[in-house]
Amino acid sequence: MDNLPNDWLALLALVFALGLKHGFDPDHLATIDGLTRFNAASNKPRLSRWSGLLFSLGHGAVVTAVAVLVGIIAKKWEIPVWVEDLGAWISILFLLALGAANLAAVLRAGPGQVVRMVGLKGRWLGQLSQASHPAMIAFVGALFAFSFDTLSQTALFSLTASSMAGWLFSAALGMVFMLGMIATDGLNGLWVSRLINKADERAQIASRVMGLAVGSLSILIGLFGIAKYFFPGIAARSEGHEMLMGLAVIGTVALSFYLALHLARRQTVAHAVLPSDSGIYK
């Protein structure tokens, strides 16, 4: 994101893609997983289904507020280079740690267990990880926005927007970013809710595929960030392709989601046919 586009339509599209990609943050997925499961266990199916949407609304509200604030003071302030570097390294280290933790969770899971996403920030929430009110779930999402990488990314696209059309455009970009998160985090909440309702072998297979996909992708993105930092040639070649890379991440997760459903469906059909076939040999 060193060189953001100066065309407002291209910038809107890029920020929406960044919001979609941000929604796939393993910490987001793990926390929404926990909130969805807790409310399902508390016999609140509607709140369980919409936990991802509420989380992203709270998170996006803070992002939009920060975008407006940065847009207002943009003429008097410029982000130091070290801030962007620090934000990049924090993001890289978190991605590597979360990727390794989620891959380990898949490998440790027993034959009859559904794999639950692993997060780091969620462990600091205490009782908030068991929020059972819409406002509190949104509040959890808002707390997640106060991270260095999120705030530095927001400040960067807000400064670009402010230089183009003032703070109102910064506010619009904040809301577009939120819409991207709503799409991914909202769908994640619905996905986990569906897994809970189908807590059988299909859920076990699907959760393993998604765990492997998210864990592997997190590590790959982290390693790519390291490569960009230490090899200027790689960084130069990737400039201007942020939206394409974001869409590639989204497409990979979407493909993994489809593969998870397909494998789970095949396993269900195979088990449905097996008992009748096995009777022939008795």
Which of 48-52, 118-122, 255-259 has the lowest average pLDDT? Answer: 118-122
Q: What is the pLDDT of residues 81-118, one digit of tens each?
A: 676 677 778 778 877 887 888 888 888 887 767 777 77
Asked whether residue 117 is assigned to any structural domain, the reply reads yes
Asked whether residue 166 is assigned to any structural domain, the reply reads yes
Whether 200 has a pLDDT exceeding 70, the answer reads no
pLDDT score at 261: 67
Asked whether residue 1 is assigned to any structural domain, the reply reads no
Asked whether residue 207 is assigned to any structural domain, the reply reads yes
Asked whether residue 181 is assigned to any structural domain, the reply reads yes
The boundaries of the domain holding residue 54 are: 8-281
3-state secondary structure the chain: CCCCCCCHHHHHHHHHHHHHHHHCCHHHHHHHHHHHHHHHHCCCHHHHHCHHHHHHHHHHHHHHHHHHHHHHHHHHCCCCHHHHHHHHHHHHHHHHHHHHHHHHHHHHCCCCCCCCCCCCHHHHCHHHHHCCCHHHHHHHHHHHCCCHHHHHHHHHHHHHHHHHHCHHHHHHHHHHHHHHHHHHHHHHHHHHHHHHHCCCHHHHHHHHHHHHHHHHHHHHHHHHHHHHHHCHHHHHHHCCCHHHHHHHHHHHHHHHHHHHHHHHHHHHHHHHHHHHHHHHHC
Asked whether residue 3 is assigned to any structural domain, the reply reads no
Q: What is the pLDDT of residues 12-54, one digit of tens each?
A: 887 888 888 788 787 888 888 888 888 888 888 888 889 999 9
Q: How many domains does the chain have?
A: 1
Asked whether residue 2 is assigned to any structural domain, the reply reads no
Asked whether residue 156 is assigned to any structural domain, the reply reads yes
State pTM to two decimals. Answer: 0.71
